[in-house]
């Protein structure tokens, strides 16, 4: 019988044992109640990836990845929550009656169509006389036929109705081809191919599905030089990284990644045995790209054009990575070079020399930023200083901040302390959270919310007692954050035992839950409970006093002194001096 999407989460958790599923991807060894192995999500030599079969959760103590069986499948396959759920359902033979399942089927049909179209274009490149021009072009660019095959390169003929005719003859759904961005419907009802007289580069997502195409003009007078598939439900340029599917195993092995901006920059590096590479798809780098890159590689190298535009793009990339507390290194090419032209100077057999040359041109992010900005503003050192502060001010990792301050102090010939103060003054993000102990976490809202979450996960029967002292109202007034959302969900569910908590169908919730369940237990439950209640009390009073302060300001402006005295007297009566001083 078909089941609802709401029941699906529960059924999948019943059908799949996390130990059995994880063992298909990770070699595990039993250690006590848990199983450990090398993390599949980051490179490591000592096993820190742990599976708890009793609670059906996993956690890596190296990279922090955690969650349940569905979270693991999402991460290992590079899927979103819905897609992971539906794939697992299909594997288990579960029938689903909801709209997401139909959408998933539609997406699969589009992927199959794209692959068939890629094959059509590939045949034109390899076997058709019309493909001579494209074959000559690829040979001039130094790409071997093996690379053509590896990346499914093809050729779209110049006559604009070839693909449309082939699809119609094969009785394909023409509207589906329009949805995939392959055809355009003309006013007279006929269909026109999107790609005409272009080298066609199929774009795969990280699962290896063909989600779109890029077409490279073969004549110098044709504009635009590159034509990408339009945005579709499959192809989102702000998320897709070209070559990630082919390169991800090399990236994991090398623990590093080269980021380039062009398809041929990527292909030229691959041709010369540098295979830990990805490229953006005709768009500027985005936060989503950065997040994906950071999940794959420890060391990141920016390899952009050497001109002014390329350097500007590198500075922007540094800013995006610094927000994630990661600093890439930058390979600074000569101003007249782009990655493809630079790499072309080396043969496939000179791969090691190329790597050495790239290493020679590599600068740290602070060094690259300083030299680039100094060249741009040679007569304005204060402008250089301010630009550098803006660039690195969103770092909130203390060790990374220290490293940046040390380097900038060297280049700017200023004390480290001055730079640190400037960075922190300019900081837009929240203060760095001190995580050295539970007592220090109490001083920070998010840190203490984590303690409350850990407490309630271990003692769900205590939820009513914390609600009585105002936890829910306090959470609703807090700035939104992961533990604030987690606790509100927990209060909404009102679980009485751990098994109910484990059944909440949210990947974000399950990821935090796994992290909390792997945390060490509290030594003294009663003491922690008292601290939590004290925190809730003081935070509520703090907010009340803020409102009172606003009232006092108002009465000061209106000259109502007696109202101010009445308010101050009520505060004194309601709270002890110790309570006021703690606030």
Q: pLDDT category, 198, cuts 50, 70, 90?
A: very high
pLDDT tens-place string over residues 459-485: 888 888 888 888 888 888 776 778 888
**Residue 406 in domain:** yes
Same-domain pairing of 383 and 494: no
pLDDT at 145: 96
Identify the CA nearest to 543 among candidates 470, 487, 435, 441: 470
Q: Is the pLDDT of residue 567 over 70?
A: no
**Residue 330 in domain:** yes
> Sheet containing 226-228: which strands, arranged edge to edge?
154-156, 198-204, 210-217, 226-228
Query: 91, 113, 138: which is the final residue of a domain?
Result: 91
Structure tokens at 567: 């308010």
Same-domain pairing of 536 and 564: yes
Same-domain pairing of 107 and 142: yes
For residue 561, the enclosing domain spans: 438-577
Cα dist from 103 to 71, 190, 211, whole Å: 21, 27, 15
Q: Is the pLDDT of residue 91 over 90?
A: no
Q: Is the peptide bond before 301 cis (omega within 30 degrees of 0)?
A: no
CA dist 405 and 24 (Å) reads 45
Q: Mean pLDDT throughout 64-92?
A: 85
Residue 174 contacts residue 164 (beta carbons within 8 Å): yes
Give the mean pLDDT of the chain.
87
pLDDT at 427: 74
CA dist 165 and 167 (Å) reads 5
**Residue 433 in domain:** no
Same-domain pairing of 193 and 134: yes
Beta-bridge partners for 216: 199, 226
Same-domain pairing of 442 and 563: yes
Residue 56 contacts residue 69 (beta carbons within 8 Å): yes
Same-domain pairing of 324 and 256: yes
Task: Tell me the residue ranges of DSSP E strands in 281-359.
Answer: 299-302, 329-331
Q: Is the pLDDT of residue 105 over 80?
A: no
Same-domain pairing of 446 and 380: no
The alpha carbon dihedral of 336, 339, 341, 344 has a sign of: positive
Terminal C-alpha separation, the chain: 58
Identify the CA nearest to 537 among candidates 447, 448, 436, 434: 448
CA dist 220 and 28 (Å) reads 55
pLDDT tens-place string over residues 349-373: 999 999 999 999 999 999 999 999 9
CA dist 62 and 110 (Å) reads 38
Identify the CA nearest to 108 among candidates 194, 207, 25, 203: 207
| Residue 50 DSSP class | E
CA dist 247 and 398 (Å) reads 32
Same-domain pairing of 448 and 403: no
**Residue 233 in domain:** no
Structurally, the chain folds into a number of domains equal to 5
CB atoms within 10 A of CB 133: 14
Residue 270 contacts residue 148 (beta carbons within 8 Å): no
The structure's pTM equals: 0.66
Q: Mean pLDDT throughout 28-56?
A: 92
Residues 6+ apart with CB under 8 A from 498: 55, 457, 460
pLDDT at 441: 38
**Residue 431 in domain:** no
Q: pLDDT category, 429, cuts 50, 70, 90?
A: very low
CB atoms within 10 A of CB 325: 15
Same-domain pairing of 254 and 331: yes
Cα dist from 360 to 299, 561, 562, whole Å: 16, 72, 74
Q: Is 208 left (phi over 0), alpha (psi -120 to 50) or beta?
A: left
CA dist 11 and 96 (Å) reads 11
Same-domain pairing of 468 and 509: yes
Query: 33, 56, 91: which is the final residue of a domain?
Result: 91
Same-domain pairing of 395 and 488: no
């Amino acid at each position: 019988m078909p089941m609802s999407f709401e029941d699906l989460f529960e059924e999948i958790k019943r059908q799949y044992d996390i130990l059995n599923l994880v063992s298909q991807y990770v070699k595990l060894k039993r250690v006590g109640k848990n199983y450990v192995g090398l993390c599949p999500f980051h490179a490591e030599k000592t096993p820190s990836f742990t599976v708890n079969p009793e609670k059906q959760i996993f956690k890596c103590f190296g990279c922090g990845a955690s969650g349940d069986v569905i979270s693991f499948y999402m991460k290992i396959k590079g899927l979103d929550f819905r897609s992971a759920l539906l794939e697992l359902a299909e594997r288990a033979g579960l029938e689903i009656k909801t709209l997401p399942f139909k959408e998933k089927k539609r997406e699969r049909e589009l992927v199959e169509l794209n692959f068939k179209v890629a094959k059509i274009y590939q045949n034109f490149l390899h076997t058709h006389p019309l493909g001579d021009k494209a074959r000559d072009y690829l040979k001039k660019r130094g790409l071997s036929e093996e690379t053509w095959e590896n990346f499914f390169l093809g050729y779209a003929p110049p006559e604009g109705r070839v693909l449309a005719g082939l699809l119609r003859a094969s009785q394909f759904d023409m509207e589906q081809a329009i949805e995939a961005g392959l055809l355009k419907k003309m006013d007279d009802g006929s269909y026109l191919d999107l790609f005409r007289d272009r080298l066609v580069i199929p774009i795969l997502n990280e699962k290896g599905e063909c989600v779109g195409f890029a077409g490279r003009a073969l004549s110098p007078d044709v504009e635009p030089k590159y034509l990408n598939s339009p945005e579709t439900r499959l192809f989102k340029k702000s998320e897709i990284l070209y070559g990630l599917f082919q390169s991800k195993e090399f990236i994991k092995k090398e623990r590093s990644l080269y980021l380039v901006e062009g398809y041929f920059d990527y292909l030229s590096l691959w041709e010369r045995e540098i295979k830990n590479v990805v490229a953006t798809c005709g768009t500027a780098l985005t936060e989503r790209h950065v997040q994906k890159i950071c999940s794959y590689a420890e060391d990141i190298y920016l390899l952009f054009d050497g001109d002014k535009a390329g350097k500007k793009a590198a500075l922007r990339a540094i800013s995006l990575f610094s927000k994630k507390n990661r600093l890439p290194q930058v390979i600074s090419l000569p101003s007249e070079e782009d990655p493809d032209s630079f790499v072309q100077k080396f043969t496939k057999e000179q791969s090691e020399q190329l790597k050495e040359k790239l290493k020679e041109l590599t600068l740290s992010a602070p060094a690259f930023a300083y030299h680039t900005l100094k060249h741009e503003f040679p007569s304005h050192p204060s402008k250089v200083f301010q630009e550098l502060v803006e660039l690195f001010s969103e770092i909130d990792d203390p060790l990374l901040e220290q490293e940046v301050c040390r380097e900038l102090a060297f280049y700017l010939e200023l004390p480290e302390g001055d730079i640190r103060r400037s960075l922190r003054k300019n900081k837009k993000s929240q203060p760095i959270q001190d995580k050295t102990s539970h007592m220090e976490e109490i001083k920070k809202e998010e840190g203490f919310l984590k303690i409350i979450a850990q407490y309630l996960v271990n003692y769900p029967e205590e939820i009513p007692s914390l609600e009585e002292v105002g936890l829910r109202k306090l959470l609703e007034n807090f700035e939104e954050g992961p533990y604030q959302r987690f606790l509100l969900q927990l209060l909404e569910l009102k679980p009485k035992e751990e098994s109910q908590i484990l059944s909440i169908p949210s990947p974000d919730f399950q990821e935090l839950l796994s992290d909390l369940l792997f945390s060490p237990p509290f030594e003294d439950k009663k003491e922690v409970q008292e601290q939590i209640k004290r925190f809730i009390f003081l935070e509520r009073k703090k907010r009340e006093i803020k409102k009172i302060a606003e009232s006092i300001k108002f009465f000061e402006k209106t000259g109502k002194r007696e109202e101010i005295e009445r308010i101050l007297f009520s505060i004194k009566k309601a709270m002890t001096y110790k309570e006021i001083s703690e606030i």
